[in-house]
Structure 1
Amino acid sequence: MSTPTLRSIDRRLSNDVDRLQAVLEGAPEYSLVVEGRLPPSNAAIELLDALPPGKDHSDKYVYEVVHEAEAVGCLEMVRGYPDTDIAFIGLLLFREGYQGRGFGPQVLRLAEAIGTGWRCRALRIAALDTNPRAFAFWEREGFIELLRKPAMDFAGHAIVMERALPDARKI
């Protein structure tokens, strides 16, 4: 199996937005579990526009996960959130037909390289307690639970998890 690659999504290009929308719509179960609804027709724009407190678009990166020339997933990362030495993964999602095929760990290695390039010491995520499959993935990948808190605009609570980047000790 070939390794997936990442391609940066440009919000100004309608084709990029359309492909991201297709990925989000290709994972309806995820939307139902975390938001209690199917992805709306503007889900891609919502994802591209959403920013954590104190961050702007220069800190946010959304990538299309490409496998054999097809958009199979997406990765959203924020540089320096919530602390300057943290790379935050806001979303790692695959179309349902591509889930469970080993792409998650492969894309996580790409995310590690990005975080290391940003000179961050760790990756952080927030899995929702309504999505036990995602929580299990992050746990298998060595992420440690830091805390649980209410998740605004989502069903359930956020489980904040973190894992040190492999090269963090060298920085």
Structure 2
Amino acid sequence: MKHFNTIDFPSIHIRLLDGNNEADLFIFKEFLLRTKDYFTDYVNVDPTDEQVKEFFTSLPPKVLPSQKYVYGIFDRDRLMGFIDWVEDYPQKEIGTLGYFVLEEEYRGTKLAEELYNALEKTVSDTGTKIMHLTFIEDDKRAARFWEKQGYQQIDTYNGNYGKQLVAEKIIG
């Protein structure tokens, strides 16, 4: 999945970010520092360069680097969000949405829904039939958003940030 289907917001564009590109790492780190409400680990301590690169290199078990995509969402030249997608995980025709993060001012907007719809169309066009994602149980805003997109809870587990809900949506 290399090309992302576009959306109808003239100043918004989406492109793959490259974890080996210093400029992409720099703007990604700036984004993390601006979204400390989401990345609470970085409230008191800024992320190291290694932690920033980890967003690009961390993979689930038995996943190849070629299965992972990190898309930057830009409003003109400013990174205002990102999507972390792993295709064919945990099995063929199932994909996992690791992150779908926007700066706070863009959350809960029509843009967030259109970005998600563009993602769903893109992954469906590449053969994905089911999408998985995980979010923190206490994040009621996320729960409402994902429920509105048609996701249903299929599992729970205790993670580093409390109880995690695993949800899925059949798309094809």
TM-score grouping bracket, smaller chain normalisation: 0.7 to 0.9
Indicate which of 21, 24, 31 corresponds to 1:16: 24
Deviations 1:115-168 (A, max 9, x none): 1132010111001113222122111211111111122xx211221111121xx1
Q: CA deviation at 1:114?
A: 2.5
User: 2:4: which partner in 1?
Assistant: none
- The number of equivalent residue pairs is 161
The reply on whether 1:136 has 2:141 as its aligned counterpart is no
User: 2:157: which partner in 1?
Assistant: 149
The reply on whether 1:51 has 2:59 as its aligned counterpart is yes
User: 1:116: which partner in 2?
Assistant: 124
Deviations 1:22-47 (A, max 9, x none): 22222111122xx5x53623342121
User: 2:85: which partner in 1?
Assistant: 77
Aligned-pair identity in percent equals 21
The reply on whether 1:66 has 2:74 as its aligned counterpart is yes
In structure 2, the gaps of 5 or more residues are: 1-7
* Runs ≥4 residues deviating over 6 A: none
User: 2:96: which partner in 1?
Assistant: 88
- Of 57-66 and 156-165, deviating more is 156-165
Query: What code does the residue aligned with 2:16 have?
Result: S
Query: What code does the residue aligned with 1:21 have?
Result: K
Give the TM-score taking structure 2 as reference length: 0.85
Query: What code does the residue aligned with 2:48 have?
Result: S
Query: What code does the residue aligned with 1:80 have?
Result: D
The separation in 2 between residues aligned to 1:30 and 1:115, in whole angstroms, is 25
